Amino acid sequence: MFTQSSIQAKHSFVFMMAIILMGLGFYLGVQDLKLKQLRNEARAVAEQVVSFRAWVANSGVVWVDQLSADFHDYLGEKMVQEGEKIFSKNPALATRELSTIVAKSSTRATFRVTSDDYRNPINAPDEFEKRALRTLKEESGQGFVENIGNGKYFYAQPIYVKKSCLRCHGDPKDAPRDVIEKYGDKRAFGYKVGDVRGIISVALPDVRAEEVASSFINPVTLGLIAVAFLMSYLYTHFSLIQRIKSLTKKTKLIAKGELNTPLEAQLDSSDEIEHATHAVDLLRRSLIVSMRHMHKED
């Protein structure tokens, strides 16, 4: 059926298919751009958390002179002067306090640090985090795990054990007294440098594809695309289809015996239709010569 259709019908079909394929390609490109945008944003948050934890770990603990109203947990305490105490926070507690503060702020991204070998039940991983932990432990070199669902983007990045971590996560005999008193000597010990201790889990609101597209698509861009498509369609219609129709019509007239039908072609052109017109004109002239010879013989 398609092969029997006119060139104009075929061209319209192919033209529409090209538009559909370009639209599909654009949509897939926007989806990929959206995912990369979310991933980069989540990775930036995770790297900031890594830097914050490293700062606390390098200091051993951080001391504060008062506890936040939203976060009362601490590792140890000591008296600095009569009636005044200061409180210590290890990397886990300092990070969890920061996570609590961020969760109550207006920032887009929220994060938490979790592990399959957690000390505090509050840090227990959810289903996505459990899958991420398994993947990051089983697949060496896997840099991150991500997922989109329920209108959110989820990202998990591994936390590797460093030498500074071994004091609290190596041999329990070497652990600070405050750590043993608070958490005991059974959980989250026995790690070595390079092990995956846990993950930094980041959550972001999912971004709609149209929001991403609007960042680089504007009326001027759409107008230029429309003009390009219109130019392509008009060129094909008038420079090819209409000229072929005209040549076909004149060729039919010649076939009916109207040998004086004018056919003009530019001989110095590289245009294939001009060449076809010239070939038909040569055939017309040959027919005229043949007809004259036949009349002379009669």
Two structure tokens written together for 84: 């005044």
Q: Identify the domain boundary among 206, 233, 257.
A: 206
6 located within any domain: no
pLDDT of residue 298: 60
Domain identity same for 64 and 173: yes
78 located within any domain: yes
Residues, the chain: 298
Two structure tokens written together for 205: 């609101």
What does the DSSP 8-state code read for residue 123?
A: G
Domain identity same for 201 and 222: no
pTM value > 0.75: no
Domain identity same for 179 and 239: no
Domain identity same for 37 and 116: yes
242 located within any domain: yes
Q: Identify the domain boundary among 206, 228, 254.
A: 206
| Residue 99 scores a pLDDT above 90 | yes
pLDDT of residue 2: 64
3 located within any domain: no
Q: Identify the domain boundary among 206, 237, 266.
A: 206
Whole domain around residue 189: which residue ranges? 11-206
Q: Where are the alpha helices (DSSP H) in 122-260?
A: 127-138, 166-169, 177-183, 209-213, 219-236, 242-255
What is the arithmetic mean of pLDDT over 156-160? 95
Q: How far, in Å, CA of 112 to CA of 197, rounded?
A: 14
Domain identity same for 102 and 225: no
1 located within any domain: no
Q: Pick the residue with more confidence: 136 or 214?
A: 136
Angle at the Cα of 98 (from 179 to 133), degrees rounded to 5? Answer: 70
Domain identity same for 50 and 185: yes
pLDDT of residue 1: 61
pLDDT of residue 297: 67
Q: How far, in Å, CA of 142 to CA of 129, rounded?
A: 15
| Residue 64 scores a pLDDT above 70 | yes
Cα dihedral across residues 189, 190, 193, 198: positive or negative: negative
239 located within any domain: yes
Domain identity same for 200 and 230: no
Reported confidence tier of residue 232, pLDDT bands at 50, 70, 90: confident
Domain identity same for 61 and 193: yes
| Residue 57 scores a pLDDT above 90 | no
Q: Are residues 67 and 87 in contact, defined by beta-carbon separation less than 8 angstroms?
A: yes
Residue pLDDT, tens place only, 107-135: 889 999 999 999 989 899 999 999 999 99
Phi then psi for residue 54, to 5 deg, are: -65, -40
* Residue % of the chain over a pLDDT of 90: 35
| Residue 178 scores a pLDDT above 70 | yes
Cα 69 → chain centroid: 40
Domain count across the chain: 2
Residue carrying the six token digits 């995770």? 46
Distances (CA, A) of 42 to 109, 142, 226: 7, 16, 36
Residue pLDDT, tens place only, 253-281: 888 888 888 888 887 888 888 888 889 88
112 located within any domain: yes
Q: How far, in Å, CA of 163 to CA of 159, rounded?
A: 13
Q: Are residues 70 and 105 in contact, defined by beta-carbon separation less than 8 angstroms?
A: no
Domain identity same for 32 and 135: yes
SS3 124: coil
Domain identity same for 122 and 21: yes
Domain identity same for 29 and 144: yes
**Mean per-residue pLDDT over the chain, rounded:** 88
Domain identity same for 41 and 146: yes
158 located within any domain: yes
